[in-house]
């Protein structure tokens, strides 16, 4: 039974799938057709990726007639942020190459 980090990393590791998620983040809700038009892969492949993103909790779907609208669920990224913070935390007292990183995280 893979943990939350596992699912997130594995889901986002595929470039095509990550690109779909990024588009949904940037441009908001999109239909499968609209996503397919720019994805560079076939419609079944897009549907499959969206299914995997949905399983990971990264997207929601909304049915409207025969269209399905997908949208990103940003909250699902929380475990990833936590993991990064945790790794950074372990290191906090060791090096200072991480100052850059912490500056980024704290904005």
Interface residues toward a copy of itself, by CB under 8 A: 2, 5-6, 9-10, 12-13, 15, 18, 21-22, 25-26, 28, 72-75, 77-78, 80-82, 84-85, 87-88, 90-91, 94-95, 97-98, 100-101, 104-107
CB count in 10 Å sphere of residue 37: 12
CA dist 12 and 9 (Å) reads: 5
CB contact at 8 A, 50 and 39: no
Q: Which does 60 bind (CB under 5 to 8 A by kind): a copy of itself, DNA, none?
A: none
CB contact at 8 A, 41 and 16: yes
The token duo for 37 is 């038009």
The token duo for 3 is 């943990």
For binding to DNA (CB under 7 A), which residues are involved? 10, 13-17, 31-33, 36, 41-52, 61, 65-68
Q: Which does 65 bind (CB under 5 to 8 A by kind): DNA, a copy of itself, none?
A: DNA
Shortest distance in whole angstroms from residue 45 CB to DNA: 4
Query: In the block, which residue shows the tokens 């904005």?
Result: 107
Shortest distance in whole angstroms from residue 12 CB to a copy of itself: 5
């Amino acid at each position: 039974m893979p943990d939350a980090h596992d699912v997130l990393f594995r889901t986002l590791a595929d470039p095509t799938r990550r690109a779909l998620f990024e588009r949904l983040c940037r441009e908001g809700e999109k239909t499968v057709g609209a996503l397919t038009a720019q994805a560079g892969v076939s419609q079944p492949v897009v549907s499959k990726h969206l299914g995997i993103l949905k399983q990971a909790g990264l997207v929601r779907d909304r049915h409207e007639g025969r269209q399905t609208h997908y949208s990103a669920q940003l909250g699902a990224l929380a475990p990833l942020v936590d993991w990064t913070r945790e790794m950074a935390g372990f290191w906090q007292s060791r090096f200072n190459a991480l100052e850059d990183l912490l500056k980024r995280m704290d904005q």
